[in-house]
């Protein structure tokens, strides 16, 4: 086990958009949540970490780099002002809102760490606890009495925060925490790329903020009255619990026996998985799965590996082979909503996909085919009707978050996060700390191999070793 690192706080500050510059083309600073935002009120914030090599002493960072980082963040917030705002919960039947008021800000904490930068930014299994000092704090609840009348005072929660960690003469880690109600992965990518561009280019006049952000809520159409269904669930929660957004999901009693690791699946290995699936289908005179994209191939393979790990775990020997297993993922909505949604839309435009297969089938000889067919069929349904069954999104995903039986995937290899250059080059490593407590796996594009996918997951050490064995043996068999 690595020695847990210690951090020293160098600075704590608040960064706001430049005075009187916030969203000059937008007449209001209050954005009601759409029906696509509301389900995210029930889940933990996103916690990405960006590691950059930076072989300079701390004094160089604080005197030259830090002022530019804060200034560029300020410039970015004038375009992406909800990140500096708050979530305002209104009494029933009010719709929760994202509100920015002049002077609102993002909390920025700067610390120096004596941790091992090379260790933290590697792929091999590393102690999960070592990463928690790199994650910014973000309020998750507010005093809010049960709603009983229209005079109940609205409650507010900040939506994002930043921590910048300096590893002297080694590197920098930029950690963010943001509640998903303010942004999906596409919006966050636009935000972080804008910040990096302002930082790298300096003069704001030279920066193209990936076209002007769109705040037009009318582009999100609710044809099935899902807003009312989701709000009913939300009011039910805050009437009994008060305003509570789940906090960072990693701090939930992890033992020191739990590790984080990253694995790479490259295009040649994906092609091997695809050929193996086709061969099995041909052997059994079965039709090929409808989708055999790199995403489906990788997810199907991971699903089978993780089910095998569960089966080998003696603590899970009470599970029945006839039990349904679910594989959950996030599906982009820009091209699936049936009407135009600008790619620069700020907010959530994603749906939930949930594939099902019987446990014994996933463990059988054709398990990889079963998994690929289930995921592919779900994607086909989402392509046809992304909102089909959406009234059950909240209840279905709460079950998945509370179970070790099912598998969830966060992130997307289509989001080019490794192109986020603040002026020191591309990130050496990106980690998603939000997967820890959610028992999920993360997917992102490979940093160095074109078309490859990085797979991040958190498991107890014995399970991680078993996963590594299944993964290597499986990929070798498919090659």
Structural contact between residues 374 and 353, judged by C-beta atoms closer than 8 angstroms:
no
Provide the pLDDT for residue 312. 75
Show the tokens assigned to 39. Answer: 């389900």
pLDDT tens per residue across all 479 residues of the chain: 456 789 999 999 999 999 866 554 444 488 999 999 999 988 888 999 999 999 999 999 999 999 999 999 999 999 999 999 999 877 677 788 999 998 899 999 999 999 999 999 999 999 999 999 999 998 766 544 444 444 456 678 899 999 999 999 999 999 999 999 999 999 999 999 999 999 999 866 666 666 789 999 999 999 999 999 999 988 887 777 666 666 555 554 445 789 999 999 999 999 999 999 999 999 999 999 988 999 999 999 999 999 999 887 655 555 566 788 999 999 999 999 988 999 999 999 999 999 999 999 999 999 999 999 999 999 999 999 999 999 999 988 878 876 778 899 999 998 899 999 999 999 999 999 999 877 789 999 999 999 999 999 999 999 999 999 999 888 887 77
Provide the pLDDT for residue 238. 75
Catalytic machinery residues: 180, 421
What is the distance between the alpha carbons of residues 116 and 385, in angstroms, rounded to a whole number? 47
Show the tokens assigned to 35. Answer: 């029906």
Q: Which DSSP symbol is given to 420?
A: -
Q: Which DSSP symbol is given to 397?
A: H
Q: Residue 425, by phi and psi: left (phi above 0), alpha (psi -120 to 50) or beta? A: left
What is the distance between the alpha carbons of residues 304 and 90, in angstroms, rounded to a whole number? 44
Identical fold at 7-244 and 258-478? yes
What is the distance between the alpha carbons of residues 392 and 352, in angstroms, rounded to a whole number? 10
**What is the bridge-based pairing of β-strands 106-113 and 160-167?**
parallel
Query: Pick from 175, 168, 176: which is nearest to 115 by CA?
Result: 168
Question: What is the C-alpha radius of gyration for the chain, rounded to an integer number of angstroms?
Answer: 22
Structural contact between residues 107 and 177, judged by C-beta atoms closer than 8 angstroms:
no
Structural contact between residues 440 and 252, judged by C-beta atoms closer than 8 angstroms:
no
Structural contact between residues 260 and 131, judged by C-beta atoms closer than 8 angstroms:
yes
Helices (H), ranges, 80-146: 117-120
3-state SS string over 344-357? CECCCCEEEEEEEE
pTM of the model: 0.93
Domain boundaries, the chain: 7-244, 258-478
Provide the pLDDT for residue 111. 98
Q: What is the dihedral of CA 133, 52, 348, 219, to 10 degrees?
A: 150
Extract long-range pairs of 330-336: CB within 8 Å, 24+ residues apart.
Answer: 330/184, 330/185, 330/409, 330/410, 330/412, 331/379, 331/382, 331/386, 332/186, 332/412, 332/414, 333/36, 333/386, 334/186, 336/382, 336/383, 336/386
Output the CATH code of domain 7-244.
3.30.559.10
Q: For the domain made up of 258-478, give the CATH fold.
A: Chloramphenicol Acetyltransferase (3.30.559)
Query: Pick from 134, 182, 188, 185: which is nearest to 162 by CA?
Result: 134
């Amino acid at each position: 086990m690595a020695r847990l690192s210690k951090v020293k706080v160098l600075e704590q500050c608040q960064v706001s958009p430049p005075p009187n510059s916030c969203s000059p083309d937008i007449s209001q600073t209050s954005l009601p949540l759409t029906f696509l935002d509301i389900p995210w009120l029930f889940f933990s914030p996103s916690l990405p970490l960006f590691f950059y090599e930076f072989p300079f002493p701390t004094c160089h960072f604080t005197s030259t780099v830090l002022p530019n980082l804060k200034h560029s963040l300020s410039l970015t917030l004038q375009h992406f002002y909800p990140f500096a705002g708050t979530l305002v919960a209104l009494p029933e039947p009010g719709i929760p809102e994202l509100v920015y008021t002049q002077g609102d800000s993002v909390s920025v904490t700067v610390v120096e760490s004596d941790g091992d930068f090379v260790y933290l930014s590697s792929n091999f299994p590393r102690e999960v606890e070592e990463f928690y000092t790199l994650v910014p704090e973000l309020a998750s609840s507010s005093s809010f009495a049960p709603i009983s009348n229209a005079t109940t005072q609205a409650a507010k929660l900040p939506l994002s925060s930043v921590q910048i960690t300096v590893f002297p003469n080694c590197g920098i880690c930029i950690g963010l925490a943001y509640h998903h109600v303010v942004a999906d992965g596409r919006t966050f990518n636009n935000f972080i790329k804008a910040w990096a561009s302002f930082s790298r280019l300096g003069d704001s006049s030279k920066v193209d903020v990936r076209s002007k952000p769109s705040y037009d809520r009318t582009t999100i159409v609710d044809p099935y009255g899902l807003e009312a269904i989701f709000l009913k669930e939300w009011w039910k929660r805050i009437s009994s619990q008060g305003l509570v957004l789940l906090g960072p999901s990693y701090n939930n009693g992890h033992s020191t026996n739990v590790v984080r690791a990253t694995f790479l699946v490259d295009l040649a290995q994906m092609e091997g998985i695809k050929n193996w699936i086709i061969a099995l289908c041909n052997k059994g005179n079965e039709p090929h799965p409808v989708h055999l994209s790199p995403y489906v191939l990788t997810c199907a393979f991971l699903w089978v590996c993780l089910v095998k790990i569960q089966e080998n775990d003696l603590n899970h020997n009470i599970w029945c082979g006839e039990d349904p297993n679910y594989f959950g993922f996030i599906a982009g909505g820009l091209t699936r909503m049936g009407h135009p949604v600008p790619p620069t839309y700020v907010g959530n435009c994603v749906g939930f996909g949930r594939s099902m297969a019987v446990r014994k089938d996933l463990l059988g000889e054709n398990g990889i085919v079963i998994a690929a067919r289930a995921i592919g069929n779900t994607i086909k349904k989402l392509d046809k009707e992304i909102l089909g069954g959406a009234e059950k999104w909240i209840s279905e995903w709460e079950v998945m978050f509370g179970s070790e039986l099912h598998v969830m995937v966060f992130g997307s290899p289509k989001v080019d996060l490794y192109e986020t250059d603040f002026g020191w080059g591309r990130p050496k490593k990106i980690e998603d700390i939000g997967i820890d407590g959610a028992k999920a796996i993360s997917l992102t594009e490979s940093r160095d191999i074109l078309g490859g996918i990085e797979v991040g997951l958190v498991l107890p050490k014995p399970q991680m070793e078993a996963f590594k064995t299944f993964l290597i043996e499986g990929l070798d068999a498919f090659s």
